[in-house]
Every structure is written in C-alpha cells, then in structure tokens.
C-alpha cells in the first residue's frame, strides 16, 4: 500500500473534501509509488484561506524575534532530518543525492537567515522637517500569503517564500507542485514541530488550475509568490489583477555561458557541464546556451563531447550517478520535441539526442544529455526554455557579439562569463541583461543570502533570497509623531511663503 498523505488546514491533517486523490511516482522507476495525495478543490482552498485569515490576527502580534526563534528551531530540525529529506526528494523528483542534499541545505540556510532577521527587520528613522516631530517608517505584516511552488527545488524554493513570509508576520496557504508533494509535506511537518501555531501554515495539495489558481484568485489572499513558467506567470498576473494583490513572479530563463578565447578552458568545461546537465537541466538557472569564441571552438567542443560522454545516467540514489531522469513523461516529451525542432531548424547533434537504450533505465523518464552545434541565435532551441538536458552551442567572434547574442532573449535570469581579462569581465557585468551574472562560475549556484531573480520576462521586478525578499513580504508603514503640542503644517508653516 502506498503511503497516504493529507492536507494540513487549521492545525489538522485532513483529506480533500471530495475524497479524491492523486498518485506520485518515482521518475527513475515509475513502478514505484511515492504516495497518494489529496486532489483538492476550491472548497479546500476556502477552508485554508479562512484558517489563515483567522490565525493572522494573533500571529501578526507575535514579536518578530519570537517568530525568529521558531525559524531557528525549523533550521535545527532540517539539519537533523537532512539525509532523510534528501532521499525522499530524490525518490520523488529524480535529481541526484548530492543535489537534493544541497536543496535541503539551501532551506537550512534560509531558515537561519530568517531566524536572525527576526532581530533585524530594520526600519528607518528620518528627521522631520518640523521641530518636535518624529518620523519613522517600519515594516508591518500584510496578511495571507499564497505560495505556489515548482518541483525542481521542492525544498529550497518553498523555504525561500514561506520562511520570510512567516517571519514578517504573515500566514501562509501553500500549494506545492503535484510532482513533489511529499517533500512539501515534510516541510510542513517541520514547521509544525518547531512550534508554528495552528492556521499559520496550511498546505493544500492538488492541481495548478483548481488549487493554484484558486489561491491566486481568492479575494481574501493578500499576496502571492509563484515560481514556474512564464506562461503561467502571465495568467497569475491577470487573475491577481482583479483584486490588485501583490504578486512576486520567478519565471523562465534561457541562460547562457560565454567562453572567451582567453578563458581557462578546463574551468569553463567544469562550469558548463554542471550548469547544463546538473538537475538534468531542469533549473530556471540552467545553462541552456553556450556562446563559444571561434578561436577556441574546436578545441573546447572536443573537450566537452569527451566529458559529456562520461556522465552517468541513472537513479539519483545510486552512487556514481551524475544525471537523473526528467521529472515526468510530459517533461521528457518536451525534451524529445525540442530535439526534433532543433534538427528541423538545421542544427546538428554533437552528442546525445535520444532516450537511452540501456535496459536498466527503461522504466524511468530518462533522456541523454544532448548538445547541439550549428545553432543560430534565431533558432527556437536558442530562444525557448526547454527545461531539460539540452545545450545549444553558438559560435561568436567577440565580447560584443557574445553579449548581444546573450541578451537576445525574452528572459533575463542568470548569466556567466569565463575570461581572465578584467576589462572584459566588468564590461560584461555592466552590459548583460540578467538578474544574476557569474564571472568564472556557472549559471547555477545562487546562495540563499543573496537577491535572486531576473529581468525582462523572467519576473516582475521582485527578488527572493537575502534581504530583498523581506521587502516583498512586508508593507511599509510611515509614522509621524508630533510632540510640539500645536498644529504644524508640513510644507507651509516651515516656509515663509
Ligand atoms: C531554480 O532553478 O528555480 O542557483 C532555482 C541555483 C539554485 C536555485 C535554482 N540555488 O541554481
């Protein structure tokens, strides 16, 4: 019997009101069921929002350092359960153990950061233009936060949103991806065990249409934080517009690594392998374009193909495996269809391009790491987010051309430049249109205490991570205290005419 999981609403574990369920399977071996989960609907969202609204009235009054103490406990519990959480995550979404451990660690880092923020949450005191008057601006909680998250970072991304939301004094209704509901459930267990009061954290499992959009459109949800595709992000923006709720969107990417002729090619090689094929390319920060200087093109391509051939595909729980499966059949189909599109457009496969024939991989959603050459900047495989192990290589002749091609996309999340020339590095930092730029490091590897997010259609201007996410989850309240004992009119009484 597969393990049965439940929603958590108002401090209680409950089934969907309809009694419906869905299954979650291991993508490396689809015969293995990770669990069954409630297939919730509007009525479950309503209950969760009602509970969160009620709980907000008490939670907002808990001193922020106290909320921070709970976050420290959350971090401690995650440390204790790190290995178990990583194994559960690999089973339900396929990335290799070293990476799922990293994913949990990102959550731990976020918890301790949130804990310490409980004793900061700084505001401003500002001199008044009038005598005997005190001005300040302080952060206040907003209300009920809807958190809708993807499957590729099943622990890290929910923590990026939920921990700062709670620390700021908001309550949360959480809808995790239906490919990774078990990890999400463990996170909620940890929050409860650490002492988050009832109604403050609620989880509702189910589909994006019913549950996700149900949360986004709910009139009593004050803010929404979403990570996922640009297409869904646009729909969320539209639905949220009807109630003017605050929305933070972290969306697609078409990130490029630029390798200049003077680069340390071995370093650049390690970088592109990790950036393109880590997490099976299923990161919004994944390297999906390699912009290679013509002077080192042949040499680097040879090194790249040699090394990619050595990557071992398999079940991420096994020792020595480098690349896991795609998360589900839909994702594998997308990768297959982009391989066809690339070939039709005139690109050539330098490596991979197929579903592996190895019988040991026959019951998982695997796809070979795939490298395209002869890619033109206007090709669809150079422009569209694939979210799989596919790298498009484009030849460039100068830094200017490299940056121009890099920027020629609707997205702007991450970027990377390999060069030893400090002038080129700083020119690239100035001119690349992306929220994140790495010098001599791959496009993946964001740290929890730094702002994370992108420009153009990668988002809508907010940043997660670091100190910046606290701006999204709190509202500024401006306060004037006049202790002069008389009416003082700003802009009028302090000027002659
Ligand atoms: C994502 O791909 O959605 O920088 C997030 C990175 C990770 C986070 C990725 N720390 O690749």
Domains of the chain (ranges; CATH) run 7-251+459-478 (3.40.605.10), 255-439 (3.40.309.10)
pLDDT (0 to 100) of residue 1: 72
Strand duo 414-418 + 21-26: pairing: unpaired
Sign of CA dihedral 148, 152, 157, 159: positive
Ligand 1 centroid to residue 364 C-alpha, Å:
24
Which residues, listed in sequence order, are joined to residue 38 by a DSSP beta bridge?
21
Check if 255 has its Cβ closer than 6 Å to any atom of ligand 1. Answer: no
Report the distance separating Cα 156 and Cα 34, nearest Å. 20
The pair phi, psi for residue 206, each rounded to 5°, is 145, -165
Nearest to 412 by CA among 431, 428, 434, 429: 434
Tokens of 493: 């009484």
Tokens of 374: 């002869």
The pair phi, psi for residue 225, each rounded to 5°, is -120, 125
Contact 172, 165 (CB under 8 A): yes
Report the distance separating Cα 107 and Cα 4, nearest Å. 25
Check if 446 has its Cβ closer than 6 Å to any atom of ligand 1. Answer: yes
Q: Label residues 375-403 b or e (16+ Cβ within 10 Å = b).
A: bebebebbbbbbbbbbbbbbbbeebebbb
Ligand 1 test: best mutation among 255, 283, 284, most atoms within 8 Å of CB? Answer: 283
Contact 16, 214 (CB under 8 A): no
Which residues, listed in sequence order, are joined to residue 289 by a DSSP beta bridge?
256, 392
Tokens of 60: 């907002």
Question: Quick one: which atom of ligand 1 is closest to the CA of 285?
Answer: 2
Report the distance separating Cα 27 and Cα 329, nearest Å. 8
What does the pLDDT profile of the chain (497 residues) look like in tens digits? 789 999 999 999 999 999 999 999 999 999 999 999 999 999 999 999 999 999 999 999 999 999 999 999 999 999 999 999 999 999 999 999 999 999 999 999 999 999 999 999 999 999 999 999 999 999 999 999 999 999 999 999 999 999 999 999 999 999 999 999 999 999 999 999 999 999 999 999 999 999 999 999 999 999 999 999 999 999 999 999 999 999 999 999 999 999 999 999 999 999 999 999 999 999 999 999 999 999 999 999 999 999 999 999 999 999 999 999 999 999 999 999 999 999 999 999 999 999 999 999 999 999 999 999 999 999 999 999 999 999 999 999 999 999 999 999 999 999 999 999 999 999 999 999 999 999 999 999 999 999 999 999 999 999 999 999 999 999 999 999 999 999 999 999 999 87
- In sequence order, the 6+-apart residues with CB closer than 8 A to the CB of 383 are 254, 377, 408, 409, 410
pLDDT (0 to 100) of residue 497: 77
Check if 153 has its Cβ closer than 6 Å to any atom of ligand 1. Answer: yes
Give the predicted TM-score (pTM) of the model. 0.98
Report the distance separating Cα 346 and Cα 274, nearest Å. 26
Contact 265, 307 (CB under 8 A): no
The pair phi, psi for residue 410, each rounded to 5°, is -75, -10
Check if 283 has its Cβ closer than 6 Å to any atom of ligand 1. Answer: yes
Ligand 1 centroid to residue 406 C-alpha, Å:
19
Question: Quick one: which atom of ligand 1 is closest to the CA of 446?
Answer: 4
Active site residue ranges: 250, 284
Contact 223, 170 (CB under 8 A): yes
Ligand 1 test: best mutation among 285, 388, 447, most atoms within 8 Å of CB? Answer: 285
pLDDT (0 to 100) of residue 80: 98
In the structure, how many helices (H) and strands (E) does the chain have? Answer: 15, 19
Contact 283, 489 (CB under 8 A): no
Host H or E run for residue 477: strand 475-482
Look at phi and psi of residue 371 and say left if phi exceeds 0, alpha if psi is from -120 to 50, else beta: beta
Check if 226 has its Cβ closer than 6 Å to any atom of ligand 1. Answer: no
pLDDT in tens, 221-276: 999 999 999 999 999 999 999 999 999 999 999 999 999 999 999 999 999 999 99
Strand duo 144-148 + 171-175: pairing: parallel
Ligand 1 centroid to residue 132 C-alpha, Å:
49
pLDDT (0 to 100) of residue 202: 99
The pair phi, psi for residue 178, each rounded to 5°, is -75, -5
Question: Quick one: which atom of ligand 1 is closest to the CA of 156?
Answer: 8
Question: Quick one: which atom of ligand 1 is closest to the CA of 448?
Answer: 10
Check if 251 has its Cβ closer than 6 Å to any atom of ligand 1. Answer: no
Check if 95 has its Cβ closer than 6 Å to any atom of ligand 1. Answer: no
Tokens of 492: 């009028």
Distance of CA 436 to the CA centre of its chain: 13
Tokens of 339: 């391989």
Ligand 1 centroid to residue 101 C-alpha, Å:
14
Check if 249 has its Cβ closer than 6 Å to any atom of ligand 1. Answer: no
Cβ burial, residue 69 (10 Å; 0-12/13-18/19+): middle
pLDDT (0 to 100) of residue 496: 85
Check if 413 has its Cβ closer than 6 Å to any atom of ligand 1. Answer: no
Question: Quick one: which atom of ligand 1 is closest to the CA of 227?
Answer: 3
Ligand 1 centroid to residue 159 C-alpha, Å:
13
Report the distance separating Cα 35 and Cα 23, nearest Å. 6
Check if 444 has its Cβ closer than 6 Å to any atom of ligand 1. Answer: yes
Ligand 1 centroid to residue 482 C-alpha, Å:
47
Tokens of 30: 């689809």
Q: Atom 3, ligand 1: which residue's CA is nearest?
A: 284
Q: Atom 8, ligand 1: which residue's CA is nearest?
A: 446
pLDDT (0 to 100) of residue 425: 98
Contact 207, 44 (CB under 8 A): no
CB atoms within 10 A of CB 485: 7
Angle at CA of residue 66, ends 116 and 135, nearest 5°: 75
Check if 276 has its Cβ closer than 6 Å to any atom of ligand 1. Answer: no
pLDDT (0 to 100) of residue 188: 98
The pair phi, psi for residue 69, each rounded to 5°, is -60, -40
Contact 336, 103 (CB under 8 A): no
Check if 284 has its Cβ closer than 6 Å to any atom of ligand 1. Answer: yes
Ligand 1 centroid to residue 444 C-alpha, Å:
6
């Amino acid at each position: 019997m597969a393990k049965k999981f439940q929603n958590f609403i108002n401090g209680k574990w409950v089934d969907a009101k309809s009694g419906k369920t869905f299954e979650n399977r291991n993508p490396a071996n689809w015969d293995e069921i990770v669990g069954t989960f409630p297939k919730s609907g509007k009525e479950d969202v309503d209950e969760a929002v009602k509970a969160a609204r009620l709980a907000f009235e008490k939670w907002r009054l808990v001193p922020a350092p106290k909320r921070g103490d709970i976050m420290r406990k959350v971090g401690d519990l995650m440390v204790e359960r790190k290995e178990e959480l990583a194994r559960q995550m690999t089973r339900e979404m396929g990335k290799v153990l070293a990476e799922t451990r990293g994913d949990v660690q990102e959550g731990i880092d976020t918890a301790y950061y949130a804990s310490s923020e409980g004793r900061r949450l700084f505001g401003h005191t500002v001199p008044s233009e009038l005598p005997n008057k005190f001005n300040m601006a302080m952060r206040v909680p907003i209300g009920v936060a809807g958190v809708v998250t993807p499957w590729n970072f099943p622990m890290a991304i929910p923590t990026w949103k939920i921990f700062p939301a709670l620390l700021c004094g908001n309550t949360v209704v959480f809808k995790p991806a239906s490919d990774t509901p078990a990890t999400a459930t463990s996170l909620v267990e940890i929050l409860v065990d650490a002492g988050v009061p009832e109604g403050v954290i609620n989880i509702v499992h189910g589909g994006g249409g019913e549950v996700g959009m149900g949360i986004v459109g709910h009139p009593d949800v004050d803010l929404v934080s979403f990570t996922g595709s640009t297409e869904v992000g646009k729909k969320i923006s539209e639905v949220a517009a009807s109630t003017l709720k605050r929305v933070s969107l972290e969306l697609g990417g078409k990130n490029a690594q630029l390798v200049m002729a003077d680069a340390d090619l071995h370093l650049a090689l390690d970088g592109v392998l990790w950036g393109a094929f880590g997490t099976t390319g299923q990161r919004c920060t994944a390297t999906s374009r390699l912009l290679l200087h013509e002077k080192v093109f042949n040499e680097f391509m040879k090194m790249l193909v040699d090394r990619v051939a050595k990557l071992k595909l398999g079940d991420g729980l096994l020792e020595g495996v480098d690349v896991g499966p795609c998360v589900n059949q839909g994702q594998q189909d997308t990768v297959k269809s982009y391989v066809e599109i690339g070939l039709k457009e005139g690109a050539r496969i330098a490596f991979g391009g197929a579903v592996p024939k190895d019988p040991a991989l026959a019951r998982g959603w695997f796809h070979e790491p795939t490298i395209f050459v002869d890619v033109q900047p206007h090709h669809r495989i150079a422009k569209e987010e694939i979210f799989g192990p596919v790298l498009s290589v484009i030849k460039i002749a100068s830094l200017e051309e490299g940056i121009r091609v890099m920027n020629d996309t609707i997205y702007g999340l991450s970027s990377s430049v390999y060069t030893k020339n400090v002038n080129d590095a700083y020119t690239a930092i100035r001119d690349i249109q992306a929220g994140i730029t790495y010098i001599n490091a791959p496009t993946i590897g964001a740290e929890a205490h730094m702002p994370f997010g992108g420009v153009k259609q990668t988002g809508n201007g907010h940043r997660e991570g670091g100190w910046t996410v606290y701006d999204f989850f709190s509202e500024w309240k401006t306060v004037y205290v006049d202790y002069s004992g008389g009416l003082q009119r700003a802009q009028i009484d302090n000027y002659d005419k």
